[in-house]
Structures are given as structure tokens and as C-alpha cells.
Amino acid sequence: MIDVKNLHKSFGDNEVLRGIDEHIAKGEKVVVIGPSGSGKSTFLRCLNLLEKPTQGEIWFEEQNITDKKTNVDKVRQKMGMVFQHFNLFPHLTVQQNITLAPINLKLQTKQEADANALRLLERIGLADKANSYPNMLSGGQKQRIAIVRALAMNPDVMLFDEPTSALDPEMVGEVLQLMKELANEGMTMVVVTHEMGFAKEVGTRVLFMDEGVIMEQNTPLQLFENPQSTRLKEFLSKVL
Amino acid sequence: MTFQEKFVLNFIEDNRWRYLVEGLQNTIIITFFALIVGVVLGFTIALIRVTHDRTGKLKILNGIAKLYLTVIRGTPVLIQLMIMYYVVFAPFAGISKIVTAVMAFGINSGAYVAEIFRSGIMSVDNGQMEAGRSLGLNYNKTMWLIVMPQAIKNILPALGNEFITLLKETSVAGYIAIQDLTKGGDIIRSRTYEPFLPLLAVALIYLSVVLVLQAGVNKLERRLGKSDRR
């Protein structure tokens, strides 16, 4: 589904990604872990071209999306993204947040989009918040709404950029729960996170990134129980 | 002379109040259209500047925009008005002086409005742009649907301020022989040799217009602020 070939990314003189080759198959739940500054967020943001790779190719559903001729907006419609800081639109109600893109991109009529939004909100138990503004909600509620906002576009893959890092501890569970449900439904997911429990439980594969490369990868069980590189051993000893 | 006699002399005799009414009309016409020119111009300039700063495109337009901001903000509006009248519009003698004034004040206000808009756009967290783009909306749609509404809410007080300033700045329109509100008061004074009442009247009329403008801005602010309530 996603093919990354020799991906490099520099910010000025600072080379953040130093050659990444990776294949992500449909239905996989890939969890990316690593110390801060390792390039894991940049890697994720390259996948939907929020960051422009300086070198290398990314293929998504048989299309080279790093090609200049590719319509990036069309590609992004099929890749949902969830941010650390939710990035809900504060001037719109919860329901408008969810329906804005489908309606404006003419993918759904207003009626369809509204019905779809309410169905999604019911699913996460927040139907009564449809007409509230994001400011009135808790962090956990905001992030769950950000997730269903991305789902409203019927994406083929969901990218999560540290979705629980900005949450109060007691709200982490509800967000992870929703992500688990998504995983169980077969959604292809790429998740950058510090939640090792989630990686173990939900991940089909865990990538350990360090200094701009994927240093080690394995099934969660193998990676956590039997780390090979000293860097990974060091990292795990600090976070587990 | 009693106050009553002075009042009659300045405003009632020879229908002198009409200088003020006609003057106010011109002041409002100039302010209103200059405001539209200023907002359209300022909005465009701000978009050029922000797009250039974020994407590196529009290099030439950005250069022109910067030159415009420097020149307009670096010279007095009265000089700009006179250049517009005596130089720029001089070959077009048939064009109304009101149009000249609208262009001069509009172009002047546009420079200030541009910087206000730009600060508004920059005040919106970049995550908003990223969220919009990640949903598949293009740059323009994201700007229009997501960034601008929040930017305008943030800059409303500053924008209201600029509108008030613009209204008062048009009081120099008399320099190119437009009979605006200030000039109207001047004419009465030159007829009656009585400065106090005409000036007081002119001041009060400006103040009332500003109060109306302010009330409008406040109302808009309240309406746009409804998403802030917790």
C-alpha cells in the first residue's frame, strides 16, 4: 500500500531522515517508536507530504506521490491524519469540523455528510456534542473527534502523530480504545507513539527509529523481548 | 450674543446647517469607498506576503508589495492625497475629486490593513493549515475556510481601529477643495467669524459616527466570539 524508497529529508543543514526504505502493506498496524529527534514524526509527515522529502520516492496505492505531477490533495483525501495537538477548527462546531472537508470537496451532499457525522459521533458517544464548539470539550473528546473527522473522509490509511502525548493521563485510555477499535476493523494504521503498551497490544510491526534511520524492526513481541541493537536496548530500558 | 443667537447665526441663518449635512455626506462616501478599496487591497497584499513567506512563491509580487508598504507608510497621507490630485489624476480633469480622494485614502489605508491582515493570518496556529491540508483541502480552500475566519476574528479590534482612523483622516480632504465635514464647518466659520460652535458641531458629528462604527465592530466581535465560550 505504501512504499518508501530511500527517503531523505533535511531542514537546512540538519539531515533528519537519512535514507529510509519501508513497505507498509494493507491492514498492517505499524507502530513507530524512538527517542525524540529520531525523525519519527518527520517520517510520518513525509508519508502525506506535509513535509516534502528532499530525496527519495514514496508510492501510495501504485502512485508515485513524490512525483511533481501528482495531485497531492487527491492523495491526502485517502490518508487520514491525527495530530498531537488535535488541530480541531475552533471556529466551527464539532459537526461542522467533521463535515467541512467532505462537503467542500463535493464527496458528499450536506445531508449525507451530516448523517455520516452524527453516526460517527454516536459511535464515540459524543452525539450530544454535535453543536458544541471544540473549546468546550476535554482533550480526550477533542482527539476522538479529530479521529472521526479524519474517518469521515473514508481514508484507506490513518496516520497518527503522537495522538496521546498532549493528553492528561486519565484521557489517554479513551483515545487508545478508539484506535484499537479501528485497528480491529482492519484499518491500515501508522502510529508514532510513546505508548509501548499500545505498540505491544495493537501493532503488527514495530519500527525503532534513531538518528534518521530505521535501526531495527520486528514484531512487537520480538522487538520488546529480544532487542538486538544497543541503542534499542538503551531506549527500552528508559521507557519500559 | 446669547448662546441661542449664536446657534441661530451659525446653523439656522441662510440654512448654514446644510454645509454640515453635505459635508458629512461626502465624508461618509469617501470613508466608505476608501474602506472597501483599503480592505480589498490590504487583503490581497497580505495574502501575497504570507504566501511568499510560507512557500517562497510570488517573489516579484512580494517585492512590489513591500515597496508599496514602505512608501505609503513612510509618507503623510496629505502628501499622498495631493500627489494623487495634482499629479496622478491631473490628466483626467473630468474625474470627480471624490474619486481622487477615495483612491488616495483607500490606497493609504490598504497598507495598514495589509499588515493587520498579515498579523491576523500569522496568529493562526500552523496546525490549522496542516489539518486542513491533511483532509485534502487545497491551499486556497484551507486559507479561505479555516485560516481566514479565525484571523479576522483575531484582528477585528485592530481593524475597527483602522476604520476609525480612516474616517478621521479624511478630514484633510479639504486640501483638494472637497467640501467634507471639516471643510463644511470651516465655511460656516468664515461666514460668521464664530469658531466655537461650528467646530464643536463638527467634533460631535465625527464622534457620533465613530460611536456608530464602534458599536458595529463590537457587535461583530460578539458574534464571532461565540465559539470562545466554554
Query: Domain spans of chain B?
Result: 3-229
Q: Which helix (H) or strand (E) holds B218?
A: helix B196-224
What are the cell numbers at A108? 458528499
- Whether the model clears a pTM of 0.90, i.e. scores above it, the answer is no
Contact A89 B133 (CB under 8 A): no
Contact B128 A91 (CB under 8 A): no
Q: CB of B151 within 8 A of CB of B124?
A: yes
Q: How far apart are CA B134 and CA B137, in angstroms?
A: 7
Contact B135 A88 (CB under 8 A): no
Please name the member of B125, B136, B150 whose beta carbon is closest to the beta carbon of A105. B136
Q: Tens of pLDDT along A1-22?
A: 999 999 999 999 999 999 999 9
Closest-CA distance of chain A to residue B130, Å: 7
Q: Tens of pLDDT along B67-116?
A: 999 999 999 999 999 999 999 998 887 889 999 999 999 999 999 999 99
Contact A91 B149 (CB under 8 A): yes
Domain B3-229 coded CATH 3.30.930.10: no
Per-residue pLDDT of chain B (230 residues; tens, 9 = 90+): 888 888 888 888 888 899 999 999 999 999 999 999 999 999 999 999 999 998 888 999 999 999 999 999 999 999 999 999 999 998 887 889 999 999 999 999 999 999 999 999 999 999 999 999 999 999 999 999 999 999 999 999 999 999 999 999 999 999 999 999 999 999 999 999 989 999 999 999 999 999 999 999 999 999 888 777 76
Contact A87 B229 (CB under 8 A): no
A34 touches B: beta carbon within 8 Å: no
Closest-CA distance of chain A to residue B164, Å: 27
**C-alpha B39, offset from chain centre:** 8
ipTM over 0.85: yes
- Asked if pLDDT for residue A32 goes beyond 90, the answer is yes
A141 touches B: beta carbon within 8 Å: no
Task: Please spell the DSSP secondary structure of B194-207, one letter per residue.
Answer: --HHHHHHHHHHHH
Q: What is the pLDDT of residue A124?
A: 95
Residue A91's Cβ-side half-sphere holds a number of Cα atoms within 13 Å equal to 19
